[in-house]
């Protein structure tokens, strides 16, 4: 997943079975590791632990921190030109 896809993935996790959300957090954590963002992956592990402990405030804060961090990662990446470039 690229940072934009990962942001959308994390923002889409608003409701559902706790186990399913925890599994999605693990998937997002792996994607952060692939992007070389170990700190963000650690925040997602904290979010997962908070979710499983029922601490929804901490869970949401950690996910929001990761989304913001991914926004910074995305802004550091060179922008690819679409097929309409130069039109």
Measuring CA to CA, how many Å separate 71 from each of 8, 20, 48, 60?
11, 24, 20, 16
pLDDT in tens, 2-35: 999 999 999 888 777 888 899 999 999 999 999 9
pLDDT of amino acid 80? 62
Q: Given 3-state DSSP classes, what are the helix, strand and coil percentages for the chain, each rounded to the nearest 5? A: 70, 0, 30
| Lookup: tokens for 47 | 């979010």
| Stated pTM of the model | 0.81
Residue of 68, 59, 67 lying closest to 8 (CA atoms): 67
């Amino acid at each position: 997943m690229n940072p934009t896809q990962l942001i959308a993935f994390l923002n889409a996790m608003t409701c559902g079975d706790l186990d399913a959300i925890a599994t999605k957090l693990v998937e997002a954590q792996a994607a952060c590791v692939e992007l070389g963002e170990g700190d963000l992956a650690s925040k997602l592990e904290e979010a997962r632990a908070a979710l499983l402990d029922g601490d929804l405030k901490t869970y949401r804060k950690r996910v929001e921190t990761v989304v913001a961090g991914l926004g910074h990662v995305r802004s550091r990446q060179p922008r690819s030109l679409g097929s309409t470039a130069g039109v």
